[in-house]
Structures are given as C-alpha cells and as structure tokens.
Amino acid sequence: MDPIKIFTTGGSIDKIYSTQSSQFVVGAPQAGAILADANVTCAYEIEALLAKDSLEINDEDREWIVARVRGEPSTRILITHGTDTMVNTALALTDISGKVIVLTGAMQPAAFKRSDAAFNLGFALAALQTLPEGVYIAINGCIFDPLRARKNLQLDRFEEI
C-alpha cells in the first residue's frame, strides 16, 4: 500500500503566538509532531503546500492544491486546512477521481493545551484508511460530504446542511 500523503496548508491547526507581532500567525506544520507524539506507525509523507490562514487562501492557491493532489502518486491524501474555507477547497477537489481525499483542521491551534487538533488529525487519518474514493471533511468526530457541510460559527463546529 502506498504511503499516505499529507499536504499542509496552514490554518488554525498550525497557528502560534508571535511575540514579535503580538498576534497569532501560521507557524510550521504541526502534523508531524502530532503524529509522532501519537506513535503513528502507518507510512506517511508530509509536504507543506501553503502557510496561510484559510481566509487568505484564494482561487490561485486552490488551483495549486488541486494540481498537487491530482499529480500526487499516492491514492490516499490528507490535507490540513483552516476551517473557515475548508469546504471551498474540498469542493475544488471533487472532480479528482481514483483517490480518497480527506480534509481536516482545528478550531484551536495544536499549540494550545485545549485543542481539537490531535483528535481531528487522528480521526482524519483513520477515516482516510477506511473510506471509499471521494472527497471528505473529517472533523468534530464526523465525516462530511463537502457538498452538504458548513462551519457553524455560533456553535464552533461543522454540521451537515
């Protein structure tokens, strides 16, 4: 079985507090550290594509993500992404066939003591290994079809629409 390819794009999962700018900024990808801490032993490779808040991801960035996913030899792709525009990127990927593509992220940075990042990443990794071909969002303990999902800002979670 080919290794799982993990593409990182930034978002809250990778945010850190910058003392220089006194604000939260997208830092280095956290997926590798999270998976190492969890003693994950399945084969995976991590590649950083972007380091942006998802509100800053534009159509050109999405085209780049789609091109990289389409050109990636692995048939199992996990993408860490900011939650605000995760659905938009998932929808841009829906015409890719022959792969299982799962997007996940976090409502709170992985660096926070109380974060959903590790759970969401592990959940997405498990989902990636069991789901049939298609594009999915795996977050908050649920798997969503991006055509019927949205982020509920009031409840701070994803839901089916």
* pLDDT of 9: 98
pLDDT attached to residue 2: 85
How many angstroms separate the CA atoms of 159 and 113, rounded?
Answer: 25
How confident is the model at residue 1, as a pLDDT? 72
Q: Which domain holds residue 134?
A: 4-160
Strand residues in the chain grouped as ranges (E)? 4-10, 15-18, 23-26, 44-52, 76-80, 100-104, 134-139, 142-144, 149-152, 157-160
The residue-averaged pLDDT of 140-148 equals 98
If one counts the domains in the chain, the total is 1
Question: Which CATH number is 29's domain given?
Answer: 3.40.50.1170
Residue 81: band (very low, low, confident or very high) from pLDDT cuts 50, 70, 90: very high
The torsion angles phi and psi of 137, rounded to 5 degrees, stand at -115, 125
